[in-house]
Chain A
Amino acid sequence: MEDLVCPLAVLPTAGGDREGGGSRSDCVSMAALDLRAELDSLLLQLLGDLEELEGKRAVLNARVEEGWLSLAKARYAMGTKSVGPLQYASHMEPQVCLQASEAQEGLQKFEVVRSGVHAPEEVGPREAALRRRKGPTKTPEPQSSEAPRDPLNWFGILVPHSLRQAQASFRDGLHLAADIASLQNRIDWGRSQLRGLQEKLKQLEPGAA
């Protein structure tokens, strides 16, 4: 609050208390104006983010739907037996990881990145810098010493194009999901900022609030 007091108010004036009081209310009005401007700007940003979130959610839904439809087409082309749980092991290594990093203003941002070839316990889940290693080094099992297989190859190499389309749709969806999470974080942050500014405005202009 001390920051909002106009420096003119502390200077001695010949006009006595009334002039000093008028200057103070001018300062408060200016501060309130600045606050309102900041509030408006934040609100516009928030609405823009909400619109972007709505758009990305629609695209994510479309991608996931298209992915499932392409999977159904692949089952039609290859047979129900050829596209199912028999083609993959119960245990699998992840191809991608979610990397959380701090952006400006302390906001957490999420990004989908390719994981390294090492087993998960050798690489910390919070490591921001991912190391790509060329070949097998310390892994005991021969399967995990190779570069991770493209999941598409679980179903064979001569897979129909619809299966590739399904993979592309789900990959896009994965990146979108990370963007949506980052956007939601930003929106939550924006909402809390908005509430804070509204509180300050209420204190500055109790009548207007």
Chain B
Amino acid sequence: MELCFYNSKNGYLEAILRGFRSSFLTTEEYKKLTEADTLEDLKSILEDTDYGSFMMDEPSPIAVTTIAQKCKEKMAHEFNYIRAQAEEPLRTFLDYIAKEKMIDNVISLIQGTLNKKSPEELLSRVDPLGYFPQMKSITSMDVQNSHDDVLKVLLIETPIGSYFDKYLSTNTPNEKNNVSTLLNDMDIEILRNTLKKAWLEDFYNFIRKLGGKTEEVMGHILKSVADFRVLSVTLNTINSSLSLELQKDRNDMFPCFGYLYPEGTDRIRKCWNNETVHAALENYPMYYDLYEECKQFYMKNENMNENKLVDNNIKSLEDLLYVKLVKLCETAFDQHCHFGIFYAWVKLKEQEIRNIVWISDMILMNRKECIASIIPIFEPQTDL
């Protein structure tokens, strides 16, 4: 029955998305990209892939940020094509995917406006997936002084207003003064992470209401993403000189779900250094192994010779988490009739764009030996 009802509403869009699945760059195409000597060569090679002539109108010389932006625009175009034809509840599901990027865009616009960047520059750098018309008004706000306008825009006119509202109501008593504190003194990165936490929990609750195979697949992915967020926030704060001050803020950013929640999260909340994190993860073999693999990156290596401060062969936690996320998203395509493939496709496309940007940076820096650290997507399995 689920198959029948699903296909009548969403079969066409799932078919379109599975068509998009075949457009990911293959191993041979990555090999060609690594042979490029300049960004112009890279652009020519990408024109022979599914990206086509997406940078046809861009003047030379091309910048890496332009390549990234154009790749994102192509992805957003395909995503919006699907979203425009989606019925409920898929429409709301896709809106949740876009909201994550809206949070990033709003924070970037606020940050850029505080740094007195021009509106044109700010709007040219927003993520097209998270675009919504009302965000343009943020660039013309007087974020330092005009509290009422800021409140109106942030809390009412943005699709993510409920997350701002939740943040303000749980953290600070006086609404108006909060906004001035928010934008002047409060660290914007902590605000972004708190909003992301609210979004993730909201998305997870929506998935649970949907039930069925979507809950099974997306629930697993979102729980893993929540755990990844806990690990990432923890390791980035304990290695900071402000670790003790940040501890309370850090603990407030941990999502209230996931495989680590609640016992693992409680143990991690009390961690203050690498050893305590090590001990907290003992009962979670997958995360314990992950931490073992990357802990050297966070410890000073005394055997380094003086000419090499950084060892490029040691992977950071973010590198390993991206590998895990790619595997999760690839697995989502193994089942039919669920919404998880839409989320998985977006995440895999983002990884592909990260790969392309990394290759571009390494070409510019003449460090082609570092290109091998990209994460291949849907790599053919040769040995079973």
Contacts and interface: CB of A to CB of B under 8 A. Distances in A.
Counting chain A CB atoms within 10 Å of each CB, the highest count among B309, B312, B370 belongs to B309
B306 interface: yes
Contacts of B116: 89-90
Interface string B232-260: 11011101101000100010000000000
Given A86-B108, A87-B111, A68 B189 contact: no
A157 B308 contact: no
Contacts of B95: none
A155 B240 CA distance: 13
A184 B141 CA distance: 51
A156 B367 contact: no
A156 B68 CA distance: 22
Interface in B89-146: 104, 108, 111-112, 115-117, 121-122, 125-127
A161 B297 contact: yes
Interface residues of A, number: 39
Contacts of B236: 158-161
Interface stretch (B45-53, B202-210, B283-291, B354-362): B354-362
A73 B188 CA distance: 22
B274 to A, nearest CB: 11
Counting chain B CB atoms within 10 Å of each CB, the highest count among A63, A80, A84, A165 belongs to A80
Interface in A114-161: 153, 155-161
The range of chain B's interface size is 35 or more
B233 A158 contact: yes
A123 B370 CA distance: 45
B190 interface: yes
B105 to A, nearest CB: 9
A168 B309 contact: yes
A30 interface: no
Interface in A71-100: 72-73, 75-77, 79-82, 84-90
5 contacts: A86-B111, A86-B117, A160-B316, A161-B298, A168-B309
Given A72-B365, A87-B115, 9 more contacts: A62-B308, A69-B312, A69-B370, A73-B316, A76-B319, A81-B126, A84-B65, A86-B111, A153-B187
Interface of B: 64-65, 68, 104, 108, 111-112, 115-117, 121-122, 125-127, 187-190, 192-193, 232-233, 235-237, 239-240, 242, 246, 250, 297-298, 306-310, 312, 316, 318-319, 354, 357-358, 361-362, 365, 367, 370
What are the 8 A-B residue pairs with the smallest beta carbon separation, nearest first? A156-B189, A77-B318, A72-B361, A86-B112, A89-B115, A158-B236, A66-B310, A80-B68
